[in-house]
Amino acid sequence: MNATTVADTVNTLAIGMVVIGVLLVWTRWPNHAVALVALQSILLATVGLVTAIHTHHDQLYVGAGLVLGVKGAALPALMAVLIRRARANGEMPSAVPRALGIGAAVVVSLATIETFSGDPFQTALGATRALPAALALILLGLQVMMTRHHVVAQITGFLVIENGMALAALTATYGMPLVIEFGVLLDLLLAVMVAFVYSRRIHEVHGDLLTTVLRELRG
């Protein structure tokens, strides 16, 4: 693969991740959200693989494998189990009308990609859209978490933010130093596992996975 092909491929994959992020804002069903975040993680792993093949950085193969195994397979499988056990595949209510949500997601994503495609945010690969796409993913993840009142939406939103950061790390600097990457991934895994534990507790106590039941503490 020559440099231009690599840059075009990474750009396309990054934009694909943003499109999936926008679809996550649009979807109403928890199992669809989980499938979308798994697909997004697979695209991220592909970015890692393409970068690894092009740059011959061995640690990127490890990183791509970890992303594929953990975020592309293990965590979505765990979430699917959580949804099935809780019988909580009902609609995820939105705090804003869906049309407004999807409109805001598209506008903010396009504006972010356009604004930050300038010179200082070039990646070493020459993929001009990768870093702005990462920033857009962080904002989309935040939007999902803020507007969807469902435990699954909050976890998937967090994973979208995390995918955005991983995309930035992969394309901007070929990843952080490996020891830091491992530490970060371990911490994030632990955080998601603890979130799973709490999801189960919320279901046990409230009989639901809607975060609207968490309204006791005010003022």
Partner 1 sequence: MTLVAVCVATAIVSLLCGSVLALSAPVERRLTWAIAAVSGTVMLVAAALITIDVSRNGPAFAFNDWVYVDALGVIVADLVAVVGLLAIVNSLPYIEHEIGRGEISPRRARQYYALVLAFLATMFAVPVLNNLGGVWIAVEATTIVSALLVSIHGDKAGLEAAWKYLILGSVGIAFALFGTMMTFYAAEPILGDSSKALNWTTLRLVADQLNPEVMRLAFVFILVGYGTKAGLAPMHTWLPDAHSQAPSPVSALLSGVLLKCALVPLLRIGVLADLSVGGAFRDNALMTFGIISIGVAVPFILVQGDLKRMLAYHSVEHMGIIVLAAGIGGPVASYAAILHLVAHSLTKSSLFFSGGAIVQAYHSRRLHRLQGLIRRTPAGAAVLLIGVFGLAGFPPFAMFVSEFGLISGAFGEDRAVIGVAGLILIVLAAAALLYHAIDTAYGGRVSGSERRPIPRTAVVTALVPLLLATWVAFAPPAPVRHMLRDAAAVVQV
Q: Which listed range, 24-32, 71-79, 84-92, 167-175, lies at the site for partner 1 (CB under 8 A)?
A: 167-175
Q: What is the DSSP letter of 120?
A: G
**CA pseudo-torsion sign 14, 20, 23, 28:** negative
**CB-count burial class (<10 Å; 0-12, 13-18, 19+) for 209:** buried
- Rounded CA-CA distance 98/87 in Å is 24
Q: Could you tell me where the beta strands, DSSP code E, fall in 113-195? A: none
Contact with partner 1 (CB under 8 A) among 70, 106, 110, 145: 145
Per-position x/- string for 72-111, each x denoting binding to partner 1 as judged by CB under 8 A, each - no binding: ----------------------------------------
Q: Which is nearer to partner 1, 31 or 59 (CB)?
A: 59
* DSSP code string of 177-211: -HHHHHHHHHHHHHHHHHHHHHHHHHHHHHSS-BG
**Contact status: 161 vs partner 1 (CB under 8 A):** yes
Among 39, 78, 142, 208, binds partner 1 (CB under 8 A): 142
Shortest distance, position 180 Cβ to partner 1, whole Å: 3
Point out which span in 34-42, 78-86, 95-103, 193-201 binds partner 1 (CB under 8 A). 193-201
CB 129 within 8 A of CB 14: yes
Give yes or no for residue 169 binding partner 1 (CB under 8 A): yes
CA–CA gap between residue 103 and residue 14 (Å, rounded): 20
* Residue type for position 7: A
152 near partner 1, rule: CB under 8 A: no
Where do contacts with partner 1 occur on this chain (CB under 8 A)?
120-121, 134, 138, 142, 145, 154, 158, 161-162, 164-165, 168-169, 172-174, 176-177, 179-180, 183-184, 186-188, 190-191, 194-195, 198, 201-202, 205-206, 211, 214-217, 219
